[in-house]
Chain A
Amino acid sequence: NAGVTQTPKFQVLKTGQSMTLQCAQDMNHEYMSWYRQDPGMGLRLIHYSVGAGITDQGEVPNGYNVSRSTTEDFPLRLLSAAPSQTSVYFCASSYRGTGGYTFGSGTRLTVV
């Protein structure tokens, strides 16, 4: 049982480049979210989805796009990378209800 799988684990981008961070879960969870983690700021919500075909913005959505064509996958797209997007990105998923979220192991992104 893989849980939440994120790829890649590490990535270096040049300013202006675009890329997609992949996230897949095999637990049939309805809810999926993307967070970024920065020192001293905890985890901040970027985008989230409550089901296939439904997405919405979180606290810090600028510069990022998402889509959810299947229950399993929730990719995060950086449109034009900026140094301010240097961070560790976590994908998480949850059942509808009272449960906590299950997190992936993260993607460490550096934009130079």
Chain B
Amino acid sequence: AQSVTQLGSHVSVSEGALVLLRCNYSSSVPPYLFWYVQYPNQGLQLLLKYTTGATLVKGINGFEAEFKKSETSFHLTKPSAHMSDAAEYFCAVRLQTGEKNLFFGTGTRLTVIP
């Protein structure tokens, strides 16, 4: 079975500060990992994904995430927060074999303080 834990349901940062959103997963087999962003009253948009290869992956809007197998983590970072980054962020896993669906964490709402 697989599960996703996002530490912190709400995170606040000042504009220009580092954004760090945490995601840990539990999976019996190596998963594919994803971060999605949801702006108010909208659907989910893929920010970035890790499948194989380089463990540091870059996504849209200046975000990046690093897959650390030993820590079963896939934390999302951005060096400098912008007001437009205020949204809800979801970490998700998808197994490489068998199960084909996405399993989501409970989400982290990011607030950016001017």
Binding site for B on A (CB under 8 A): 4, 31, 33, 35, 40-45, 48, 50, 58, 90, 92, 94, 96, 98-106
Contacts and interface: CB of A to CB of B under 8 A. Distances in A.
A45 B4 CA distance: 14
Nearest to A105: B43
12 contacts: A4-B43, A42-B4, A42-B90, A42-B106, A48-B100, A50-B100, A94-B100, A100-B46, A100-B102, A101-B46, A101-B102, A104-B43
B56 interface: no
Contacts of B90: 42-43
Interface of B: 4, 9, 32, 34, 36, 42-46, 49, 51-52, 90, 92, 94, 96, 100-107
B9 A40 contact: yes
B105 A42 contact: yes
Contact of A105 (B4, B42, B101): B42
Given A44-B104, A98-B52, A103-B36, 9 more contacts: A40-B9, A43-B90, A43-B102, A90-B44, A98-B32, A98-B49, A98-B51, A101-B46, A102-B46
